[in-house]
Amino acid sequence: MDLSDQAGGLQDDIVTQLLLSRGVAREDLDRHRAPSLRAFLPDPSEFRDMDAAADRLAQAVMTGEMVTIYGDYDVDGATSAALLILLLRRLGHDARYYIPDRLLEGYGPSGEALVRIAGEGSSLIVTVDCGAMAHEALEMAHNAGVDVIVVDHHKCAPDLPRAAALVNPNRLDEGGIAASHGHLAAVGVAFLLAVATVRTLRRRGYFGSRPEPDLFSLLDLVALGTVADVAALHGLNRALVAQGLKVMARRDNIGMAALIDASRLNRPPTCSDLGFALGPRINAGGRVGESTLGVRLLTTTDPDEAREIAAQLSRLNDERRGIEQAVQEAAEAQVDQQHNRAVLVLAGLGWHPGVIGIVAGRIKEKTGKPALVIALDADEAGNGKGSGRSISGVDLGAAIIAAREAGLLVAGGGHAMAAGLTIAPGKLEALSEWLDARLAHDVSRASTNQAVLLDLALAPGGLTPTLVETLESAGPYGMGWPGPRVAVGPVRVVKADIVGADHVRLIVSGNDGGRFKAMAFRNAETEMGQALLHASQGRRLWLAGRAKIDDWGSRPQAELHLDDAAFAD
């Protein structure tokens, strides 16, 4: 066997072990090595109401009805709305869209807005990433004589709102195959509706004189919405994102290309870029700017308009960072007062509702506990608007729905890892105690299982760009499909300093001559960060984290993004 054969065999062995360790059955390895839609896409008809939704949307296309897409203001909502708008355009049918203002209208469909849209001539409204719990609003729409299709993924109550169709894999009455896709983001459900609608139109002979739309070309939107919504990247989601990244690299969507350029990426985006560069810019429009900017960007055909909107979103994202930092500092000041709580409930007057979800995520990461961050007096009634982020193994969305049903909340819903709520004045302490009693056991169990699990241990000289490429070939990675962690050591710290706001940068070397850079992001003030900064006295370390490519220099180098560190002697 020559050296190239040996290298190929080694790669196959590492990738095989990565797949097996993430729960892939040995007989199913081939399907997961290169996840494709052909291998993972279910029949859309397995989902309740999918055929009814496709029939109604196809009818609107064939008869030229006015259709409005009613989206949410986050990335999942924007990409879901853009996907259906582009689909309808390619079917020869223009659709309107409506994105509510986060501050003025709050989350979910507004009955008044639905009735107004109907009055403006729309006979069909499709809500995306919202609507599963909108009983009153959808009843108002029904009474106004407009059909509503709900495309959502948030948790449902046993009683569903009145709709022409409600497509949601998290319906409690779903069948086994559809329920197994409960990890889909709303944009993934919208893509399945697109598949079902095209199939329905094909059966009705609609494409006898016109070409069928290329549904594959919409997968860049699906990838962005799925990753930004922190949906679990296993099964179908992993296939959607893997293929969507390929579409994104083609830069066919003018708005997406402008967004990539505004993010200062000089290479095709990676999965990490979707979550940390592209997604936050789309979110900034709904959080601190104009809620329609994301949909406008992702559906425009004008390159100049695309560049202008992308630049505006980047400016808003910078503004959002400043607002976020102020709210985060105020929220963190309350954490010590709740050290005995299983779920942190942090609230303050004047906090910007547009950044509370991000702050909740930051505090969750720092404390290892689910966190709710609530902006008090966020609406005209003086109610607080809250957003929460959870840890793996703790279903926060279900708890928030139960709290609403128990009378502790004005409104609330979500999914396992994220939730939103509206709370009346004076209910904060009762909510905090209720969540503590309900989730303490789950949080304790999840925290016990938070050991750093390693996929590979190697000497410093083994951390190479080739190894990183091999590890990445088992991706894309994200929630539910964790990136591989490697342990590297023993090493000695050559240099340690702080870069940026609170990131620790290390240059380390090993006895084998290997030398590399390691980064501990947002760790300068943590116990680990301080230990690393003072580890230059000669003690050897083992470092654990994710191997990445540093491509800023003249040639790519491997570096380590740290999750943990331990003294070797």
Contact 295, 81 (CB under 8 A): yes
* CA terminus-to-terminus distance, the chain: 40
- Separation between Cα atoms, residue 78 and residue 81, nearest integer Å: 5
Whether 177 and 91 map to the same domain: the answer is yes
Q: Which residue in this structure is represented by tokens 């009805």?
A: 65
Last residue of a domain, one of 414, 448, 482: 448
Q: Cβ contacts of residue 448 below 8 Å, gap of 6+?
A: none
Distance of CA 429 to the CA centre of its chain: 30
34, part of any domain: no
Whether 297 and 347 map to the same domain: the answer is no
Give the range of the structural domain holding residue 488, as residue numbers without chain letter.
456-567
Whether 429 and 462 map to the same domain: the answer is no
Query: How far lies 320's CA from each of 284, 326, 355, in Å?
Result: 7, 10, 7
Whether 123 and 264 map to the same domain: the answer is yes
Q: How many domains does the chain have?
A: 3
At 135, give phi and psi (nearest 5°): -60, -50
Write down the pLDDT at residue 8. 47
At 96, give phi and psi (nearest 5°): -85, 170
Q: Which residue in this structure is represented by tokens 């190239």?
A: 4
Contact 219, 245 (CB under 8 A): no
Write down the pLDDT at residue 12. 59
Last residue of a domain, one of 397, 420, 448: 448
Three-state SS at 314: helix
User: Taking the CA of residue 211 as centre, how many other CA atoms within 13 Å lie in the half-sphere pointing to its CB?
Assistant: 5
DSSP 460-497: GGG--HHHHHHHHTT---BTTBPPPPEEEEEEEEEEEE
Three-state SS at 202: helix
User: Taken in order 278, 366, 524, 506, is the CA torsion positive or negative?
Assistant: negative
Whether 213 and 254 map to the same domain: the answer is yes
What CATH code is carried by the domain that includes residue 544? 2.40.50.140
440, part of any domain: yes
Last residue of a domain, one of 396, 422, 448: 448
Whether 467 and 545 map to the same domain: the answer is yes
Q: Cβ contacts of residue 57 below 8 Å, gap of 6+?
A: 67, 124, 126, 149, 193, 197, 200
Whether 89 and 179 map to the same domain: the answer is yes
25, part of any domain: no
Whether 347 and 283 map to the same domain: the answer is no
Write down the pLDDT at residue 11. 54
3, part of any domain: no
48, part of any domain: yes
Three-state SS at 216: helix
What CATH code is carried by the domain that includes residue 377? 3.10.310.30
298, part of any domain: yes
Q: Cβ contacts of residue 339 below 8 Å, gap of 6+?
A: none
503, part of any domain: yes
14, part of any domain: no
Write down the pLDDT at residue 7. 45
Whether 56 and 142 map to the same domain: the answer is yes
Write down the pLDDT at residue 6. 44
Whether 538 and 474 map to the same domain: the answer is yes
Whether 146 and 210 map to the same domain: the answer is yes
User: Residue 77: which of 104, 48, 102 has the closest Cα?
Assistant: 102
Radius of gyration, alpha carbons of the chain: 24
List per-residue pLDDT tens for the chain, 569 residues long: 344 444 445 555 899 999 999 999 999 999 999 999 999 999 999 999 999 999 999 999 999 999 999 999 899 999 999 999 999 999 999 999 999 987 777 678 999 999 999 999 999 999 999 999 999 999 999 999 999 999 999 989 899 999 999 999 999 999 999 999 999 999 999 999 999 999 999 999 999 999 999 999 999 999 999 999 989 999 999 999 999 999 999 999 999 999 999 999 999 999 999 999 999 999 998 878 789 999 999 999 999 999 999 999 999 999 999 999 999 999 999 998 998 999 999 999 989 988 999 999 999 988 999 999 999 986 767 899 999 999 989 999 999 999 999 999 998 988 888 899 999 989 999 999 999 999 999 999 988 766 778 999 999 999 999 999 999 999 999 988 999 999 999 999 999 999 988 899 999 999 999 999 999 998 998 889 999 998 866 789 999 999 999 877 778 899 999 999 998 87
- Separation between Cα atoms, residue 450 and residue 271, nearest integer Å: 24
Whether 370 and 271 map to the same domain: the answer is no
Name the CA dihedral angle for 376, 378, 383, 388, rounded to a multiple of 10 degrees.
-70
Three-state SS at 373: strand
Q: Which two tokens stand for residue 432?
A: 């905090």
